Amino acid sequence: MSGHHVVPVKIYLAIFGALMAFTAITVAVAFVDLGPLNNVVMLAIAVVKATLVVLFFMHVKYSTRLIPLVAAVGFMWLLILFGLTMSDYLSRGWLGAGAPWPAPWSN
């Protein structure tokens, strides 16, 4: 790398403040009963926080074009692995090979 991009401390403090605010929002949402939307809201907040960490603290935002491409391909690979895992889990009982849920104890 020929040159470094120096990020001002103000940016780091702003990102830190945003992460703390999103953490407070996550804790506040945990005490509100939104039904099944609780998990969706908390997962959305976690994705935003992870994006901030990757972009600023891992310097992906200020790097060459190859680094964001590698990060995106890694994320796509993670989605492929989750998809394969879920396809196995959801089709577990189709051929009688096993139950999708653990069987209760029997005597």
Please give the average pLDDT of every successive group of 10 residues along the chain, which has 107 residues. Answer: 76 96 95 92 95 90 88 94 91 66 64
The string of DSSP letters for 2-54 reads: --PPPPPHHHHHHHHHHHHHHHHHHHHHHTS--TTHHHHHHHHHHHHHHHHII
Confirm whether pTM is higher than 0.85.
no
